[in-house]
């Protein structure tokens, strides 16, 4: 067995008494004290997450946009500098290999490049996939920058205030899904207005050696804001309340983008990428499964692989479930047959041999108050 990879903030997590777990080959904090406290701090003030395990691939050279266009379900060659786009990588059958963010960035010295942030669990797979496509392109250099950099996510209503105090760029003016290469105390730092919690927030990419300093500066500069370090446990409950899919749960190679309600992230017109022709066909066929949100009666929590039933017949499967800290009830996402996917459809979930009432509800489960 390989030793677990450690992020540059690993020692800080351990010093704080975080519970560390193996996540995709990384030793990561699942929680410091309480998942619920970390979740609520993020909704009410700010949660700060070490997400350095996420893969960061950099593409330099005149051919980088063209290369990315050949592998992504969405075009990125039309992305203006400073813009970020969510996209998928699909296999030849249209199955989802990963969901990614692609940044088009401009350094202060006006050098342009692309950055792709991929799931930790898919990093090696995507690097290999891209390398097979790179073989034909001599005007692109791909570098896996994951281990030379760190990534920190600051999420919640206080995130603007916290990140403003930290970096040179005026981040309050940064639009959603926009990014900028700036500085934090004289050190390079890429800031984007992105996140995975349903809150306003930012993700920072810094050099690995600068990460502990950035982290400390952030806590020092944010006293009194209600800022709290949050682990992967809260990251999961937050994204679930926000109705966001997670690779390995809602997304896999056996799921196509339309089943996952990610049709918006697929552009088929005048395009050529792996899976494109399969997706044209899939899009025109009746859908076999639909991703839905469920609310359950009682307090027992449905978990991945639990069966969903209608009148005793299996009609689907749970992909993620938790007890929602904001709604104070069990919530879940599932794939079900389209015939039972209407809102309010009464279903049951088999939780370890006992059936529990559930109903289809709109996603997201939780939406932050407007004006934040």
**Is residue 300 a contact point for other proteins (CB under 8 A)?**
yes
Residue with tokens 């008494």: 17
Binding test (CB under 8 A) with other proteins, winner from 145, 323, 361, 364: 323
Determine how many CB atoms are found less than 10 A away from the CB of residue 356: 18
To the nearest whole angstrom, how small is the minimum distance from the Cβ of residue 303 to other proteins?
7
Residue 33 vs 178, nearer CB to other proteins = 33
Of 34-42, 65-73, 154-162, 169-177, the segment contacting other proteins by CB under 8 A is: 34-42
Residue 257 vs 330, nearer CB to other proteins = 330
**Is residue 35 a contact point for other proteins (CB under 8 A)?**
yes
**Is residue 305 a contact point for other proteins (CB under 8 A)?**
no
**Is residue 289 a contact point for other proteins (CB under 8 A)?**
no
To the nearest whole angstrom, how small is the minimum distance from the Cβ of residue 138 to other proteins?
48
To the nearest whole angstrom, how small is the minimum distance from the Cβ of residue 323 to other proteins?
4
**Is residue 237 a contact point for other proteins (CB under 8 A)?**
yes
**Is residue 325 a contact point for other proteins (CB under 8 A)?**
yes
Binding mask 201-230 for other proteins (x = CB under 8 A): ------------------------------
To the nearest whole angstrom, how small is the minimum distance from the Cβ of residue 45 to other proteins?
19
The Cα 166–Cα 219 span in angstroms is 10
**Is residue 245 a contact point for other proteins (CB under 8 A)?**
no
**Is residue 33 a contact point for other proteins (CB under 8 A)?**
yes
Determine how many CB atoms are found less than 10 A away from the CB of residue 16: 12
Residue 70 vs 300, nearer CB to other proteins = 300
- The count of chain residues that interact with other proteins, using the rule CB under 8 A, is 18
Beta bridge partners of 75: none
**Is residue 322 a contact point for other proteins (CB under 8 A)?**
yes
- Kindly report each contact of residues 12-19 with a partner whose C-beta sits within 8 Å and lies 24 or more positions away, as own/partner: 12/212, 12/215, 13/50, 13/229, 16/229, 18/229, 18/231, 19/231
Residue 223 vs 352, nearer CB to other proteins = 352
**Is residue 242 a contact point for other proteins (CB under 8 A)?**
no
* Pick from 130, 96, 128: nearest CA to 275: 96
Of 33-41, 213-221, 241-249, 336-344, the segment contacting other proteins by CB under 8 A is: 33-41
Binding test (CB under 8 A) with other proteins, winner from 299, 339, 357, 362: 299
To the nearest whole angstrom, how small is the minimum distance from the Cβ of residue 335 to other proteins?
22
**Is residue 34 a contact point for other proteins (CB under 8 A)?**
yes
**Is residue 301 a contact point for other proteins (CB under 8 A)?**
yes
Distance between the two ends of the chain, CA-based, in angstroms?
46
**Is residue 36 a contact point for other proteins (CB under 8 A)?**
yes
To the nearest whole angstrom, how small is the minimum distance from the Cβ of residue 140 to other proteins?
41
Question: Based on the number of CB atoms within 10 Å of its own CB, is 175 exposed (0-12), middle (13-18) or buried (19 or more)?
Answer: exposed
Of 57-65, 177-185, 272-280, 293-301, the segment contacting other proteins by CB under 8 A is: 293-301
Binding test (CB under 8 A) with other proteins, winner from 145, 187, 283, 303: 303
Residues lying near other proteins in the complex (CB under 8 A): 30-31, 33-36, 233, 237, 298-301, 303, 322-323, 325, 330, 352
């Amino acid at each position: 067995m390989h030793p677990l990879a450690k992020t540059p903030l690993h020692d800080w997590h351990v010093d704080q008494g975080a519970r560390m777990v193996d996540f995709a080959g990384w030793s990561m904090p699942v929680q410091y004290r309480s998942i619920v406290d970390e979740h609520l701090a993020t909704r009410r003030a700010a949660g700060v997450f070490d997400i350095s395990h996420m893969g960061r691939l950099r593409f330099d050279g005149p051919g980088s946009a063209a290369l990315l266009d050949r592998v992504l379900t969405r075009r990125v060659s039309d992305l203006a500098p400073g813009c970020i786009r969510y996209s998928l990588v699909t296999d030849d059958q249209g199955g989802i290999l990963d969901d990614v963010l692609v940044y088009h960035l401009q350094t202060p010295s006006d050098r342009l490049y692309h950055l792709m942030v991929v799931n930790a669990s898919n990093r090696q797979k995507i690097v290999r996939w891209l390398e097979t496509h790179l073989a034909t392109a001599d005007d692109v250099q791909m570098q896996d920058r994951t281990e030379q950099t760190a990534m920190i996510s600051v999420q919640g209503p206080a995130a603007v205030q916290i990140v403003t105090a930290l970096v040179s760029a005026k981040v309050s003016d940064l639009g959603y899904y926009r990014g900028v290469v700036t500085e934090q105390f004289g050190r390079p730092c890429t800031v984007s207005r992105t996140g995975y919690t349903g809150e306003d927030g930012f993700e920072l990419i810094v050099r690995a050696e600068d990460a502990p300093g950035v982290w400390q500066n952030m806590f020092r500069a944010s006293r009194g804001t209600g800022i709290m370090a949050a682990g992967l446990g809260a990251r999961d409950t937050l994204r679930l309340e926000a109705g966001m899919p997670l690779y390995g749960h809602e997304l896999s190679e056996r799921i196509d983008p339309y089943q996952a309600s990610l049709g918006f992230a697929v552009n088929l017109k005048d395009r050529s990428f792996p899976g494109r022709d399969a997706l044209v066909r899939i899009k025109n066929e009746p859908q076999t499964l639909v991703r839905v949100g469920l609310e359950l009666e009682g307090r027992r929590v449905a978990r991945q692989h639990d069966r969903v039933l209608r009148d005793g017949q299996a009609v689907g499967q749970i992909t993620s479930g938790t007890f929602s800290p904001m709604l104070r009830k069990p919530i879940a996402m599932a794939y079900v047959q389209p015939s039972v996917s209407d809102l309010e459809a009464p279903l049951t979930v088999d939780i370890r041999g006992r059936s529990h009432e559930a109903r289809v509800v709109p996603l997201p489960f939780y939406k932050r108050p407007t004006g934040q």
